[in-house]
Amino acid sequence: MNFERGKRRRNSPEITPLIDVMFFLLVFFMVFSTIKTEPMGLDVELPKAVTGSPQTSTSFEVLVDKSGALYVSGRMATGTELRQQLADRLRVNPDMFVIVKADKEVRYEHVVNALDHVRAVGGYRLGLAVQQGD
């Protein structure tokens, strides 16, 4: 009696679950990479002006929020820190344009305070940021 031997099955790991997991991860990252996220930053609502013009030159931005806090490069800064950072930048580019972005509800004294800090270190090219309005 000659029995025909069946095909021998190799012992190898099952990759079907691995393929399923990889496909799931691919779909997961494709879906979540397309979701628009709100950029992190400060919530400063600029006042509107009809006569504003866009600035494209190298500039230094100082933000003043509703409470009067100063922000430089997205980080809260004291007046001394603002002066130091601005002085460092002005040494490199003395003609740099400094833009003060103040919330429309901020008290005027806080805007003047920010302008005083800029003027104290020699910033003479100043601008107040506004939103283009009707």
5 found inside a domain: no
- Which CATH number characterizes residue 91's domain? 3.30.420.270
Q: What is the pTM of this model?
A: 0.56
8 found inside a domain: no
Which residues, in sequence order, are CB contacts of 55 under 8 Å at separation 6+?
Answer: 97, 99, 127
Q: What is the mean pLDDT of the chain?
A: 80
Domain holding 54, by residue range, is 48-132
33 found inside a domain: no
- Looking at the chain, the whole-number percentage of residues with pLDDT higher than 70 is 72
Number of domains in the chain: 1
| Mean pLDDT on 24-53 | 69
84 found inside a domain: yes
27 found inside a domain: no
pLDDT at 93 over 60: yes
4-26 pLDDT, tens digit per residue, is: 666 666 677 788 888 999 999 99
